[in-house]
């Protein structure tokens, strides 16, 4: 065992141990930055908050905008009179008619003449000097008056461009004065620019005078650079007005989280050959929490306010760049593994441990065959579709089952619990019927059950005639009771098989078929039923369907049926799922959605629309336009 006999050695070891604990996370060691630049000496007068100074004389540069207004714009002599000029012509009243004096402003018309009135007539003056105009007017008046004395002056020159308004200093350092050309002003003060503009205009004008001011100070800016913590720096430039401080710059960027870095400084541009950089360190805590103005420096053109990144954030970003691709690879691998495990749980690729019900007619397990199809999705037997239809329930068996199931179908929550998205489908069908047939008053509900579809339609629009069709008399009675209570309308009822019914042409505006068409068996039954429905619709009427559907693609058939089984299992349990599958296998012969859409078009529906599809259920229909 090591023994320490020297008190000084013990003290040093204790200090070293405390320092080691501190580096382990108890506290943060102070970091001393080794700057490679020379800081501005404390004694130098650096303007700051409460001790600001005026900026140097402003030097014009692109893209400043100047406000230039001409105070004196007089053409150089000799002045030639032009069209649209205005002349001041005066003749002493002693030499004119008392009723018609010649004294006033006379514009030069488009034909180059001045009109002095009906008595004195017109004189051509365009292109003449003022002296020539005076002589031409005098000679013209001598034929009318005696001993005429005339004076002529130019009151307004229409041909001279006015100089007024905003003028942008272009990239070449000049301002454009229109017909007078361009003047170079970059690098000049306002006084120097005024002299330059007036000197240039003196080529065209007699002793010109202009006033110049800066309309927009665009050329002098300061910069704010925020280090991005490994995600790239943010850079912003702001025009300087002469009053900004470091705090103003930080407020401009509206950055969040920059205060997590306590190192902020101002880098001030130094003239070439100075030999060192000018760095003004900012004390964030003193400036913000203490309100000290010592480091809240006034900013000058070209200053860079730099906010250092948070080292921990930068380290976290660097780790993210390294680990994110690895996490993605692991995620894809895990997803693939879970998919394989899920498929292996299914019988024949769908679950060997699943409980499968037996078909009542054949005793075969539902859901298994060599083609990985399930239940009523399996391939037809040796005799094709005929064998499959022959196994289905008879009309009397279907009627008997519905007669004993009225209470369950009297509520959407129980009657349609095994149907995916039934409430949404009812809502979409009601809205589609109202949108396409807003004035429809005659409704036919095929396979109405307890009246759920008609009741939802009545919430959307009022109708005066309702006809209900169903195999079950108890179902019809319950539907009538509910509809009378909801709307006051007493529906007409027809107990029977929809395949055996015939209706007059154009006798209905809206026909509903909710979960009924899947009882149709052969192609001939489907085609005949759709034709009868189309003929019984009035022009502009709509036929709207919500039903169980199959898929013509075996792979998708398998996928939809598997998802439907999962949905049924979540409602109750696997036994409930198997019971529903057995019922479908016994009673239903659904057709693909594409088949039914094509059939709608074949019988005459010009507009066919899918309202909603979710797996093996769909809401759709068509509108009769002719």
The mean-pLDDT minimum among 14-18, 92-96, 135-139, 592-596 falls in 14-18
Task: Return d(Cα 520, Cα 447) in angstroms, integer.
Answer: 12
User: Residue 267, SS3?
Assistant: strand
Task: Specify the pLDDT at position 407.
Answer: 76
Task: Return d(Cα 295, Cα 352) in angstroms, integer.
Answer: 76
What mean pLDDT is reported for the chain? 80
| Confidence band, pLDDT 50/70/90 cuts, at residue 20 | very low
Task: Specify the pLDDT at position 171.
Answer: 93
| Confidence band, pLDDT 50/70/90 cuts, at residue 5 | very low
297 DSSP β-pair partners: 48
Query: Could you tell me the domains of the chain?
Result: 37-58+220-332 (3.10.560.10), 65-74+160-216 (3.30.1950.10), 86-156 (3.30.1950.10), 349-391+552-589 (no CATH), 418-550+591-623 (3.40.50.150)
* Residue reference for tokens 């037996």: 358
| pLDDT over threshold 90, residue 442 | yes
Average pLDDT over residues 573-602: 92
Task: Return d(Cα 194, Cα 178) in angstroms, integer.
Answer: 17
| Confidence band, pLDDT 50/70/90 cuts, at residue 382 | very low
Burial class, 110, CB count within 10 angstroms (exposed 0-12 / middle 13-18 / buried 19+): exposed
| C-alpha separations of 379 from 322, 392, 553, 582 in Å | 52, 15, 12, 16
| pLDDT over threshold 80, residue 425 | yes
Closest CA to 464 of 488, 431, 436, 486: 488
| pLDDT over threshold 80, residue 379 | no
Closest CA to 147 of 189, 95, 207, 199: 95
Average pLDDT over residues 14-37: 42
| pLDDT over threshold 90, residue 608 | yes
| pLDDT over threshold 50, residue 381 | no
Give me the sheet containing 508-514, strands edge to edge: 492-495, 465-470, 442-446, 508-514, 537-548, 617-623, 607-614
The mean-pLDDT minimum among 33-37, 520-524, 613-617 falls in 33-37
Please state whether the predicted TM-score (pTM) of the whole model is above 0.85. no
Report DSSP state, residue 533. Answer: H
pLDDT digits (tens, 9 = 90+) for 537-579: 999 999 999 999 999 999 999 999 999 999 999 988 999 889 8
| pLDDT over threshold 60, residue 42 | no
Task: Return d(Cα 411, Cα 138) in angstroms, integer.
Answer: 110
User: Residue 338, SS3?
Assistant: helix
pLDDT digits (tens, 9 = 90+) for 227-280: 766 666 777 888 888 888 988 888 887 644 454 556 898 988 877 766 677 889
Task: Return d(Cα 295, Cα 55) in angstroms, integer.
Answer: 19
Task: Specify the pLDDT at position 354.
Answer: 38
298 DSSP β-pair partners: 245
Report DSSP state, residue 169. Answer: P
Average pLDDT over residues 356-380: 37
| Confidence band, pLDDT 50/70/90 cuts, at residue 476 | very high
């Amino acid at each position: 065992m090591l023994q320490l006999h020297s008190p000084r050695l013990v003290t040093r070891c204790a200090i070293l141990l405390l320092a080691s604990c501190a580096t382990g996370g108890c506290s943060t060691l102070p970091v001393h930055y080794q700057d490679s630049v020379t800081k501005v000496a404390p004694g130098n007068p650096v303007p700051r908050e409460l001790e600001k100074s005026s900026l140097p004389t402003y030097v014009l540069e692109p893209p400043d905008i100047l406000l230039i207004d001409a105070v004196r714009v007089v053409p150089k002599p000799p002045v030639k009179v032009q069209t649209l000029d205005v002349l001041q012509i005066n003749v002493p009243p002693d030499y004119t008619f008392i009723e018609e004096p010649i004294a006033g402003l006379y514009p030069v018309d488009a034909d180059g003449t001045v009109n002095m009135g009906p008595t004195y007539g017109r004189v051509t003056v365009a292109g003449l000097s003022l002296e020539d105009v005076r002589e031409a007017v005098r000679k013209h008046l001598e034929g009318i008056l005696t001993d005429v004395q005339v004076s002529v002056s130019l009151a307004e020159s229409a041909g001279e461009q006015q100089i007024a308004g905003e003028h942008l200093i272009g990239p070449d350092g000049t301002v454009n004065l229109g017909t007078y050309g361009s003047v170079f002003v970059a690098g000049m003060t306002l006084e120097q620019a005024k002299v330059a503009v007036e000197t240039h205009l003196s080529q065209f004008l007699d002793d010109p005078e202009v006033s110049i001011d800066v309309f927009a100070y665009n050329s002098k800016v300061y910069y704010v650079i925020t280090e991005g913590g490994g995600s790239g720096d943010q850079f912003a430039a702001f025009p300087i007005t002469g009053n900004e401080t470091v705090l103003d710059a930080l407020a401009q960027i509206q950055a969040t989280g920059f205060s997590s870095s306590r190192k902020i400084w101002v880098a001030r541009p130094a003239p070439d050959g100075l030999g060192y950089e000018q760095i003004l360190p900012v004390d964030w805590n003193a400036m913000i929490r203490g309100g000290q103005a010592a480091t809240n420096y006034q900013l000058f053109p070209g200053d860079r306010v730099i906010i250092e990144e948070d080292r921990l954030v930068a380290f976290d970003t660097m780790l993210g760049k390294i680990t994110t691709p690895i996490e993605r690879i692991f995620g894809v691998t895990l997803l693939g593994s879970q998919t394989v495990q899920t498929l292996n749980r299914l019988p024949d690729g769908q679950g060997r441990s699943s409980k499968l019900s037996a078909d009542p007619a054949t005793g075969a397990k539902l859901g298994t065959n060599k083609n990985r199809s399930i239940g009523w999705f399996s391939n037809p037997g040796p005799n094709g579709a005929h064998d499959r239809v022959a196994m289905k329930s008879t009309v009397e068996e279907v009627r008997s089952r519905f007669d004993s199931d009225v209470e369950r179908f009297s509520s959407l929550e129980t009657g349609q619990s095994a149907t995916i998205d039934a409430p949404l489908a009812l809502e979409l069908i009601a809205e589609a019927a109202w949108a396409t047939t807003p004035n429809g008053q005659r409704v036919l509900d095929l396979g109405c059950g307890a009246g759920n579809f008609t009741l939802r339609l009545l919430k959307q629009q009022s109708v005066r005639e309702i006809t209900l069709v169903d195999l079950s008399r108890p179902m019809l009675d319950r539907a009538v009771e509910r509809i009378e209570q909801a709307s006051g309308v007493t529906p007409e009822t027809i107990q029977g098989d929809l395949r055996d019914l015939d209706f007059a042409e154009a006798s209905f505006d809206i026909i509903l078929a909710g979960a009924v068409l899947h009882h149709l068996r052969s192609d001939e039954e489907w085609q005949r039923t759709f034709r009868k429905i189309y003929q019984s619709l009035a022009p502009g009427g709509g036929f709207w369907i919500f039903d169980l559907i199959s898929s013509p693609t075996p792979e998708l058939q398998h996928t939809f049926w598997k998802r439907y089984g999962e949905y049924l299992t979540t409602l109750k349990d696997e036994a409930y799922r198997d019971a529903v599958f057995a019922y479908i296998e016994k009673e239903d012969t659904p057709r693909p959605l594409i088949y039914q859409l094509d059939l709608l078009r074949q019988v005459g529906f010009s507009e066919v629309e899918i309202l909603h599809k979710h797996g093996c259920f769909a809401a759709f229909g068509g509108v009769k336009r002719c």
